Structure 1
Amino acid sequence: MNHGDDTETSRHDGTTSRYDGATERVFAARPPERGGSLARTWWGRAWLAALEDGALDGAQVRAGRRLARAGAVGAVSVRPGRVTAVVRDRDGTGQRADVLLAELSQGQWDRLLDLAVERSGDVAALLDGEMPPQLVEDAATAGIDLLPGLGELEASCGCGAWDHCGHTAALCYQVARLLDDDPFVLLLLRGRSPRAVLDDLQARGTAAAAPEPAVARPRRNGVDAAQAYAAVRPPLPAPPELPGQPGLPPSLDAETPPAAGVDPTALEFLAARTADEAHRMLAEALGGSTHACVELTAGQDAVRLAAGLAGTPRAFRTAVGQRLATGSGRTRDGLASAVRAWRYGGAAALSVLEEEWAVEGEAWARARSALESAWEDDERPVLRVRGNRWTVAGTSCQLRLDRDGRWWPYRKERGRWAPAGDAARDPATALATAMSFGDGEGDAQV
């Protein structure tokens, strides 16, 4: 791919313009960002992981994060293969920063769009500002890396740095914010404008709906195989349509008293949750999903069921929640914290809440390196470590490391540690999430 400089336009009003034969989108500069994560979505965090895991100098990445938070990144130009902005240092000096990403080939685009058109939900998700995980996974299986991987974000800056400097790192952090709002920015970087993608998807959908022309098959001695098969086995019926909502389980309200040890309230709840799960599995099957089910322990399944109590009547929620807490060996408050963790990250987040383990060997070396590169020496908080838990001295914040190397934010509430947000690869991002966690975001009521 040619990454040479092109003729730039002077439009910085956020509109779409033509850029030397390829579509360009220009996004206005953003105000400073105080606290919180610079990437909210999973695809925005994946973009930052490509920067943070691939940069050779962690200090430059930290400097870029500070510049991005300070609002030092000017208007951002996005076009196929390149994103550009002027980034100003603290003294006001501006440097042109470019980040390059390889465009997809014509063959890769054809395969990607064929995958997207097979499921209308993927297109709807993109239009709604979401990046469908299944599309990314299916594309990777087909040999197409939609999100950037380690070392794919190439840097070019007017300051002369040969790897990522503070200016290009700041630009990457700003792009993560743009991706949060509009995943089509990533598709444009990979080589196609939003309009071109949608037009191509519409054309493919129309072609798929058109009847196939009859094709004469060559005949040889004997019977045509397709005709023989159709004669002994009729075509399968069309798949069933997905019901608009889960089915209603039968009512257990009867004059006959329940048998000893049988709780009708609990049975009604389990029947309703089973109907919800069956509806979800049917939706995945009709959509072509092949996700394998993860087998949960009894304690994890109790938390999953408790997470489904939201929106149910208070008396019902109290009765079933108490049974789930008792059955899983938890207190009511403990179950509420477990439900909050589950909503942040399922079984993985629940393990971080309830398991403490010794960080040793290679895991310790990686954790120590991440903590040292996350802050400048004069900004690094004082951390007290016990197992996989780092508590920030003088605050009610804590970082917990999971076995995949991700950092989870925690805050102390009413004398106990509680989850405070999604995991992050960068401990500074996780700590910022913990610091900005609102007091009103308490445990789920179960």
Structure 2
Amino acid sequence: MTQRDGTRHSGGITAGDGERERTFAALPPSRGRAFARTWWGTRWLKALEDTALDGEQLRRGRGFARQGAVGAVTVRPGRVTAVVRDRDGTAHRADVLLQELTETDWRRLLEVTARESGHLAALLDGEMPPRLVEDAQSVGVELLPGIGDLDPECGCEAWDHCPHTAALSYQLARLLDEDPFVLLLLRGRTQRELLDELGARSTAGAASAAGTASAHDPAGSRGGSMTGGKPQGVPAEEAFALGAILPPLPAPPPPVETPGGAPSLEGVGTPPATGVDAGALEFLVSDTASRAQQLLRDALSPSHAYSAPPVPLTQFQDAVRLAAAGPDQRIVERLSANCGIPPVSFRAAVRAWELGGLVGLTVWEESWTPEAEAMARARDQLATAWAEEDAPPPQLHVNRARWNTPDGCAQLRYGPDGRWWPYAMEHGTWWPAGGAEADPAAALAVALRQNEPGRGERS
């Protein structure tokens, strides 16, 4: 349920994901936002702040990073490098070193990753699942750095973290937010190497399963034997495991660039039966073609084998999804009427889907009780953001996963995806005010802006 909102940083990479060195273009100056918006980015910065002995050097490093003084960042196994400039323009090469995992550590990490298909699917979608880190720790592998793990080296010849290595570390937290494979490269594996090794383990596991099945079936009831006069065939897992000695599989179907259009049903041939809406039927045919194209694209993607099947939509969720596709207003009204909720609430639900798909609608529909640690982290993020703006943070009223401003005009909702969704009150109804944000301060700014005069008026 990850929202693909197009916010991931991808520009400036000069080497592919299969190379053992990646270079990211210099990031622009950043003001009024936290360096780390994800829990794993926050853990990276905690390792830095727990390691450094001089808080003043960290403060100056944050200033350098915010001012755009960090040049292109190069990441390779065990080391991240950039040129950082002082206020007077003097350039210093700064390096931060992180120990690579041993071959034994990688074997254990690959084993726990292969056991849970959701781990790799999350990584490919730009997320670092907490369960992966916990499973790695359970076999003695520390994936994220801890105190003393980030070693500095700088041309200014400081013996501890200086402003230059601190600035580089803060900037790297922003890159880690967008792509957790950066951390895995630092630990010693490229994305391509990781995928190849996991694929090899999957094949080996299938072959082992096929061998075990053969041992339990000495009579040979598979492989074309006859049972009741009918050939049995070969189990799929055995065929894939023994692919090297079987005829090659046919090539996968090519991707479909554009879904097929619906036939014209109105005014053609026999009139429709009473109660059949030809226009609505045309819309459903077009929607079915679009969904079939999406399913084929997903099936042909490299991550398909590691992805869990999607959870079926409820009738209400599917009605909202259809309405968000932009059919005629009369079709939207029929969908709304069949849901049994007020039209204004249905329009708000459609807006939630438009901004965040199923995750956005789930946040609109449900309220739940998050973990205390996530809420404490959000309070710290708000306090940090307002401290940098020289203003006290707003005193929000907390009701489980929903935080309201005192005037009742703006609201933050914490979603099951670990992100914050801005809402604004309009004519007695909570309306989604924007897409999800990892930083609650950024989401709150969107919600407050929606209530500015002249904005957000809906009937």
Same fold, judged at TM 0.5 (above): yes
In the other structure, the counterpart of 2:440 is 427
Structure 2 gaps, min length 5: 1-11, 115-119, 204-216, 227-231, 237-248
Greater shift, 412-421 or 290-299, is seen at 412-421
Q: Determine the C-alpha separation between the residues in 1 that align with 2:410 and 2:46.
A: 25
Q: How many residues align?
A: 379
Equivalent of 2:124 in 124, 129, 132: 132
Is 1:407 equivalent to 2:420 in the alignment? yes
Secondary structure at the aligned position of 2:96 is classed as strand
The residue aligned with 1:385 is: 397
Q: Are 1:81 and 2:78 counterparts?
A: yes
In the alignment, the residues of structure 1 paired with residue 148 and residue 328 of structure 2 have an alpha-carbon distance, to the nearest angstrom, of 49
Is 1:327 aligned with 2:338? yes
* Counterpart-to-counterpart distance in 2, 1:96 and 1:65: 14
Closer/same/farther in 2, CA of residues 434 and 53 from structure 1, 3 Å limit: farther
Amino acid at match of 2:224: A
Q: How does 1:299-378 map to 2 (within 5 A)?
A: 299-307=316-324, 309-310=325-326, 316-329=327-340, 334-354=345-365, 367-376=378-387, 378=390
Q: 1:367 touches 1:405 (CA, 8 Å); kept in 2?
A: no
Cα distance in 2 for residues equivalent to 1:292 and 1:244: 20
Does 1:33 find its partner at 2:27?
A: no
Aligned to 2:308: 291
Q: Give, in angstroms, the shift of residue 327 of structure 1.
A: 2.8
Tell me, yes or no, if structure 1 residue 175 matches structure 2 residue 192. Answer: no
TM-score (norm 2): 0.57
Q: Residue type matched to 1:155 in 2?
A: L
* CA-to-aligned-CA distance 1:11-53 (integer Å, 9 cap, x gap): xx9978xxxxx965555644413467868xxxx8465244367
- In the alignment, what sits opposite 2:224? 230
SS at match of 2:283: helix
Residue 174 of structure 1: CA displacement?
A: 1.9
Within 2, Cα distance between the matches of 1:321 and 1:64? 53
What is the letter of the counterpart of residue 273 of structure 1? D
Report SS of the residue matched to 1:428. helix
Matched residue, 1:51: 44
Q: What's the counterpart of residue 263 of structure 1?
A: 277
* CA-CA distance at 1:422 after TM superposition: 1.8
Alpha-carbon spacing, 1:247–1:433, altered in 2? closer, same or farther (3 Å): same
Structure 1 residues not aligned, in runs of 5+: 1-12, 17-21, 117-121, 209-222, 311-315
CA distance in 2, matches of 1:102, 1:36: 31
- Cα distance in 2 for partners of 1:91, 1:304 equals 55
Cα distance, 1:413 vs. partner?
7.5
Match of 2:187 among 186, 190, 208: 190
CA contact (8 A) 1:99 1:172 kept: no
| C-alpha distance 234-334 of structure 1, shift in aligned 2 (>3 A) | same
Aligned to 1:341, the other structure's residue is in SS state helix
TM-superposed deviation, 1:79:
2.1
With over 3 angstroms needed to count, the CA separation of the structure-2 counterparts of 1:282 and 1:296, relative to structure 1, is same
- The Cα offsets for residues 122-141 of structure 1, whole Å up to 9 and x where unpaired, read as 9xx9xxxx96339988x959
Residue identity opposite 2:223 in structure 1: Y
Q: RMSD of the TM alignment (CA)?
A: 6.0
**Aligned-pair identity (%):** 41
Deviations 1:239-269 (A, max 9, x none): 8954744566676445334333x43333333
> Matched residues in 1 for 2:353 and 2:49: separation?
35
Q: Do 2:127 and 2:179's aligned partners in 1 also have CA atoms closer than 8 Å? A: no
Please tell me the residue identity of whatever aligns with 2:323: A
Alignment of 1:76-225 (within 5 A): 76-85=73-82, 96=94, 98=96, 100=98, 102-103=100-101, 105=103, 108=106, 132-133=124-125, 149=144, 151=146, 154-157=149-152, 170-178=167-175, 185-186=182-183, 188-192=185-189
Look up the match of 2:68: 71
Closer/same/farther in 2, CA of residues 66 and 404 from structure 1, 3 Å limit: farther
Work out the CA distance in 2 between the residues paired with 1:252 and 1:135.
45
Cα distance in 2 for partners of 1:73, 1:396 equals 39
Alignment partners' CA distance in 2, 1:234 and 1:51? 52
Residue 230 of structure 1: SS of its match in structure 2?
coil
Q: Secondary structure at the match of 2:41?
A: helix
Query: Structure 1 432/185 Cα, relative in aligned 2: closer, same or farther at 3 Å?
Result: farther
Deviation at 1:412, TM superposition (A): 6.6
Distance in 2 between residues matched to 1:226 and 1:152, nearest whole Å: 58
- Asked if 2 retains the 8 angstrom alpha-carbon contact of 1:35 and 1:433, the reply is no
- Note the C-alpha offset of 1:80: 0.8
1:211 counterpart residue number: none
1:51 partner letter: W
Q: Which amino acid aligns with 2:413?
A: R
- Tell me the distance in 2 between the aligned counterparts of 1:23 and 1:134: 19
Offset of residue 362 of structure 1: 7.0
Cα 1:149–1:362, aligned 2, differ >3 Å: closer, same or farther? closer
Q: Secondary structure at the match of 2:333?
A: helix
Q: 1:50-71 deviations in whole A, cap 9, x for unaligned? A: 43676777x9999866653322
